[in-house]
Structure 1
Amino acid sequence: MVLVFKTSVQTKANVRRLKPLLDELVVERGRWNFDLEDCDRIFRLESEGISSHRVISFFKEQGLECQELT
């Protein structure tokens, strides 16, 4: 399953801070990446067994905004 989100992540430093937490969240051969050059600061996730609600909650727990794009 591929999920795409608009986020408030601004910098590569933010991504480095989130990396260990995202790696823990996205297990079982999941992959993720950010497109910080896009105006929506896209977070793209390829993984089975994780809901968009869980991803949004994760970002909110980190003090960041996150909205699923459909």
Structure 2
Amino acid sequence: MNVLIFSTDVSAPEQVSKVQPVLSAVPAISDWNIDLEDCDKILRVVSNDLSPRYIETLLNNAGFNCTELEY
């Protein structure tokens, strides 16, 4: 499993509720979470097969900024 890490502009539980169906609909994602306490509103996605660009596109299409963080 790979953990992909992104900076987002998801800043409230209501926004997490909008992201939830988008990410949960992708079978290749085994787990994900957003740290609303972090200044970068970190999204962590656990998957084997997905590219970071795919996740960025999903969130961008849902109306959120999402940028992969190098680690």
CA RMSD of aligned residues (A): 1.2
The 1-side partners of 2:59 and 2:22 are apart by 10
Give the letter for the 1:5 counterpart.
F
Instruction: Give the equivalent residue in structure 2 for 1:60.
Output: 60
Q: What 5-or-longer segments of structure 1 have no aligned partner?
A: none
Superposed displacement of residue 29, structure 1 = 6.1
Moved over 6 A (4+): none
Q: Which has the higher strand share?
A: 2
Superposed displacement of residue 52, structure 1 = 0.3
Instruction: Give the equivalent residue in structure 2 for 1:42.
Output: 42
Please, what TM-score do these two structures have when normalized by structure 2? Answer: 0.90
Q: What 5-or-longer segments of structure 2 have no aligned partner?
A: none
Give the letter for the 1:6 counterpart.
S
Change (3 A) 1:5 1:29: closer
Give the letter for the 1:4 counterpart.
I
Instruction: Give the equivalent residue in structure 2 for 1:6.
Output: 7
1:1-22 per-residue CA deviation (whole Å, 9 max, x = no partner) reads 1100000101011111221221
Contact 2:8 2:41 in 1 (8 A): yes
Count of matched residue positions in the alignment of Structure 1 and Structure 2: 69
The 1-side partners of 2:58 and 2:28 are apart by 18
Give the letter for the 1:46 counterpart.
V
The 2-side partners of 1:2 and 1:20 are apart by 19
Superposed displacement of residue 28, structure 1 = 4.3
